[in-house]
Amino acid sequence: MQKQIDRNGWEYFEKLPEGYRVATLDDFHKNGRKMIGMEFLIKWVRKEYYQVCKVTETLTGANLKPFIEVGRVFVKDQN
């Protein structure tokens, strides 16, 4: 499945790509360092739309926690 671009220029997938799993907060750091540049997906509530996002310096656990708690954040499974 390939990424698509919506009319606003955002990358997304129409379905959850193979090899992704529900994320935890622990997925966003390694050895206490934020995984800057790591791609992850956030599923929209009302439709099958998985927006592609990247970890940035300004992203915090507090930003992600509400989405993670309801199972709407996905990361590529490294196993």
How many folded domains does the chain comprise? Answer: 1
Kindly state the tokens that stand for 76: 């590529």
CA atoms within a 13 Å half-sphere pointing along the CA-CB vector of 42:
13
Could you tell me the pTM of the whole model? 0.91
Query: Residue written as tokens 């193979």?
Result: 18
Domain holding 25, by residue range, is 4-76
Phi, then psi, of 38 in degrees rounded to 5: -65, 135
- pLDDT, tens digit, 9 for 90 and up, residues 23-62: 999 999 999 899 999 999 999 998 899 999 999 999 999 9
